[in-house]
């Protein structure tokens, strides 16, 4: 018995060491291969989104290459228009800073008078000097703030690498399916094609659903801000909707700017409070109705896995990773569900509260037995 256990120990040790080395290698590849992998993954996701319209153009008799070029020009034109809009709006804030600074100066004076009258504090924490430094920085770097948006897009490789990868993925999509069939030759070709199609549909539905939700949020934000008379309502509305793509932190960032701008440009506290209330109501509608109904359960990963994917993506790839790692986690979950030996881990990543209790207990029992096997006597 002791000989049998000692023979098994090295194999377990080797397996554990190999797993650690594999995970370490993957992390290092993600870190040092960021320049290559970010546009590659983003290009693959966007290409999956463009497959249906490209197929539609091909069904009209248009050659594949021409269909791909048409869709690439169309999609990149939209991205360019959005980038130009944001850059132009951000640069336009420089002309409004003088009026905002006047209002901010008045607020500083009111705070200083209040502190001096009630607490005997004179020139508290040099507020005026801080104010001057803030607005001097904003005026001197207004163009830099505008170009930061384009540099973020550039970090995705969208100017050169992104459209190239999109073109290649769309052109050779049938070839990639054939490679998958040969790679998983032990399985039925029909099953492999079905799995590849399902993976593509997961990404398509997720991205298209997110875009639809962002569009609806942009309209609701613009209506609310315009009704309150907030300047640059179109910019703030679209910006807040775009920030919604970042889970958890995005809505907070998107609502902070219009609230502060309303506080500095309006004469009453009613307006920033009303902006805050409007965003709370809109985000409640998004979280309880729009996202569940439009995006649905296409990703279907539980909040803990979403948070972990968000943190890992932020750690490895920054803001871009926060966007890309959630659909990547959905793909990993789908792949784990393909094999009976790993299906339980896919279930662990999923969010299936409607399953029957006996099925839940069966899968939990399977997971427990795999992690803590009973030693045979």
Question: In which domain, by residue range, is 224 found?
Answer: 203-298
Domain shared by 292 and 323, yes or no? no
Q: Does residue 353 fall inside a structural domain?
A: yes
pLDDT of residue 377: 44
pLDDT at site 149: 47
Same domain? For 317 and 238 the reply is no
pLDDT at 156: 45
Task: Please check whether residues 294 and 209 belong to one and the same domain.
Answer: yes
Same domain? For 304 and 354 the reply is yes
**Residue 182 has what pLDDT?**
87
Angle at CA 349, nearest 5°, toward 348 and 354? 75
Is residue 136 included in any domain, yes or no?
no
Indicate whether 7 belongs to any domain: no
Q: Are 284 and 308 in the same domain?
A: no
151 in a domain, yes or no?
Answer: no
Predicted pLDDT of residue 54: 93
* 288 and 213 in a common domain: yes
- Verify that 293 and 222 share a domain, yes or no: yes
286/326 same-domain check: no
Residue 91 parent element (H or E): helix 64-92
Average pLDDT, 10 consecutive residues per value, the chain (377 residues):
51 75 84 84 88 91 93 88 77 62 66 66 54 55 50 52 88 88 82 82 82 90 91 87 79 87 82 92 86 68 80 83 83 78 80 52 56 54
CB 38: neighbour CB atoms within 10 A? 22
pLDDT at 137: 54
* Domain C-terminal end among 236, 266, 298: 298
Q: Please report whether residue 44 resides in a domain.
A: no
- Long-range (24+ apart) CB contacts under 8 A made by 106-111 are 107/264
pTM strictly above 0.85? no
* pLDDT given at position 16: 74
* Spatial distance between the Cα atoms of 257 and 230, rounded to a whole number of angstroms: 11
Structure tokens at 218: 């942009």
Q: 39 in a domain, yes or no?
A: no
Residue ending a domain, among 250, 281, 298, is 298
Asked whether residue 33 is domain-assigned, the answer is: no
Is the domain of 232 the same as that of 269? Answer: yes
In the chain, how many domains are there? 2
- Tell whether 328 and 290 lie within a shared domain: no
pLDDT of residue 69: 94
Instruction: Tell which of 245, 266, 298 closes a domain.
Output: 298
Domain for residue 21, yes or no? no
- Do 249 and 324 share a domain, yes or no? no
Q: Are residues 237 and 294 in the same domain?
A: yes
């Amino acid at each position: 018995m002791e000989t049998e256990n000692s023979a098994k120990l090295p194999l377990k040790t080797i397996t554990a060491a190999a797993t650690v080395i594999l995970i370490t290698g993957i992390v290092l590849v993600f870190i040092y291969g960021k320049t290559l992998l970010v546009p590659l993954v983003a290009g693959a996701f966007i290409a999956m989104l463009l497959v249906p319209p490209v197929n539609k153009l091909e069904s009209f008799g248009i050659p594949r290459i021409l269909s791909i070029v048409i869709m690439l020009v169309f999609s990149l034109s939209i991205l360019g228009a959005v980038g130009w809009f944001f850059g132009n709006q951000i640069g336009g804030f420089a002309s409004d800073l003088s009026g905002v600074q006047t209002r901010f100066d008045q607020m500083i004076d009111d705070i200083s008078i209040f502190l001096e009258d009630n607490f005997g504090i004179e020139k508290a924490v040099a507020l005026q000097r801080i104010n001057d430094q803030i607005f001097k920085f904003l005026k001197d770097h207004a163009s830099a703030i505008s170009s930061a948006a384009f540099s973020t897009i550039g970090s995705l490789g969208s100017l050169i690498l992104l459209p190239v990868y999109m073109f290649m993925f769309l052109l050779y999509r049938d070839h990639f399916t054939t490679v998958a069939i040969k790679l998983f030759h032990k399985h039925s070709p029909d099953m492999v094609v079905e799995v590849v199609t399902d993976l593509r549909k997961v990404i398509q539905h997720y991205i298209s659903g997110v875009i639809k939700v962002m569009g609806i949020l942009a309209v609701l934000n613009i209506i609310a801000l315009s009704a309150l008379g907030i300047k640059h309502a179109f910019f703030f509305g679209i910006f807040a909707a775009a920030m919604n793509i970042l889970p958890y932190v995005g809505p907070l960032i998107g609502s902070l700017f219009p609230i502060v701008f309303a506080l500095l440009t309006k004469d009453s506290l009613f307006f920033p409070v009303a902006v805050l209330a409007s965003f709370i109501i809109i985000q409640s509608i998004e979280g309880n109705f729009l996202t569940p109904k439009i995006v649905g359960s296409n990703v279907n990963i539980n909040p803990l896995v979403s948070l972990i994917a968000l943190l890992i993506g932020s750690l490895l790839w920054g803001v871009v990773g926060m966007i890309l790692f959630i659909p990547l986690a959905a793909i990993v979950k789908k792949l784990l569900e393909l094999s009976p030996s790993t299906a339980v881990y896919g279930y662990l990543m999923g969010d299936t509260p409607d399953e029957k209790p006996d099925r839940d207990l069966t899968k939990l029992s399977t997971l427990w037995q795999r992690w803590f096997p009973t030693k045979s006597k």
